[in-house]
Amino acid sequence: MKAIILFDAKCKVALTPAGATCACVPLVMGPAHPLRMERMNTPDRTSNVRLPFWFGCFAGLGPWIVVFMYFLGGGNFDEIPGFVYGILIAYLVFFNTFPVNMVLQ
């Protein structure tokens, strides 16, 4: 079986933060558990531990960089239909409401 080699720089930008997060999270926070945030922030806590949140933000940053690289890299902004701008703005709003909600809690 041949290994898949990613030559596209945009793929490397998208996958590097996620790979780094997968490698570093167990070293920093212990073995994986689906309820890690709840285990680290028990009801009797005096302060919040936001480390899983920041690791998730870092892992999700790469794909957004690639989206904007493709969007802004074309250069012909007159040829982009208006609904594409609307879709990009809607994605930004909808995907970022969850992290904003987490910070406001």
Q: Which residues make Cβ contacts (< 8 Å) with residue 63, sequence separation at least 6? A: 14
Nearest Cα to 60, choosing from 25, 23, 96, 10? 96
pLDDT (tens place) for every residue of the chain, 105 residues total: 555 555 666 666 677 776 776 666 666 666 666 666 667 777 787 777 777 778 777 878 888 888 888 888 777 888 888 898 899 899 889 988 888 887 787
- Give residue 33's pLDDT: 61
Nearest Cα to 71, choosing from 85, 55, 50, 57? 85
- Give residue 52's pLDDT: 75
- Give residue 65's pLDDT: 82
Token reading at 7: 């030559």
The one-letter amino acid code at 13 reads: V
Instruction: Give me the helices (H) in 30-105, please.
Output: 36-40, 51-73, 82-104
- Give residue 90's pLDDT: 93
Asked if 65 and 13 touch (Cβ cutoff 8 Å), the reply is yes
The one-letter amino acid code at 41 reads: N
Distance CA 30, CA 52 (A): 11
- Give residue 72's pLDDT: 80
